[in-house]
Each structure stands twice: as structure tokens, then as C-alpha cells.
Amino acid sequence: EVQVVESGGGLVQPGGSLRLSCAASGFTFSVFWMSWVRQAPGKGLEWVANIKEDGSEKYYVDSVKGRFTISRDNAKKSLYLQMNSLRAEDTAVYYCARVEGYCSSTNCYKYFDYWGQGTLVTVSS
């Protein structure tokens, strides 16, 4: 059974840092892109970051560029999100998601097929 389980959320002051983790099981972690998606309280879904199977490519939504870093450890089957310079607007449930689909020679077409239960990050003084 495919599972992804997030951890590391909590309360942090504005300007602070937090590192989220996602433990994967039930599939070959090293052959899938992975993502973080967040959801502010009572709001919709927002994609945050993607990372390629081998970690060689990373992409971010503009609002977190320069502050968040996505990484992975394939030996540990784990995904991470290092969040620095946190702001109140970063308050959200953060979901880890497996990315499925394919890439052509010019583009990729990938969606989220499995999601974790999420971990809540609250940025407040």
C-alpha cells in the first residue's frame, strides 16, 4: 500500500524556521518526482514545490522562492521541506504528494496521485 506520512509541523514565530519531513512506503520512492502542496485554513490548495527523482531539478511557487528548499534522501525514502524566514501567510497544512504521469521530450504532464494526511504549520507571535 502506498503511504506518505508528514511530520515536523508546529508553531513558529514570524522569521523563524521549520523543517518538514515526509516518509514514504509501499512504492519505489527513487523513481518518482515528489511535491509539497499546502492549504491555508479554510482555503484552497496551492502547489509549493517539486523535486525530480534524483534531486537534480527543483521548482518552487514564486511566493516561497529563496525561503523554502525541497530536498530528498532516496536511501531513507524521505522528502523534506526546509522553510526559512516564515511569514504569517505561510500558515497552512502542508501535504506531501507523489507525482505521477510522464515526460515527453519537451514537457512533463504530471499530477498528484497519492497524498499524505498533512502537517500543520502555524506562523504566529
Give contact residues for another protein (rule: CB under 8 A): 44-47, 50, 59, 61, 95, 100-101, 107-118
- Please say which residue, 45 or 84, places its beta carbon nearer to another protein: 45
Shortest distance, position 111 Cβ to another protein, whole Å: 4
Shortest distance, position 47 Cβ to another protein, whole Å: 4
Shortest distance, position 41 Cβ to another protein, whole Å: 12
Mode of pairing for the β-strands spanning 34-39 and 45-51:
antiparallel
- Please say which residue, 1 or 125, places its beta carbon nearer to another protein: 1
List Cβ<8 Å contacts ≥24 apart for 30-33: 30/54, 30/74, 30/77, 32/98, 32/99, 32/100, 33/99, 33/110
Q: How many CB atoms lie within 10 A of CB 16?
A: 13
C-alpha gyration radius of the chain: 14
- Please say which residue, 10 or 101, places its beta carbon nearer to another protein: 101
Dist. CA 77–CA 84, nearest whole Å: 23
- Please say which residue, 105 or 107, places its beta carbon nearer to another protein: 107
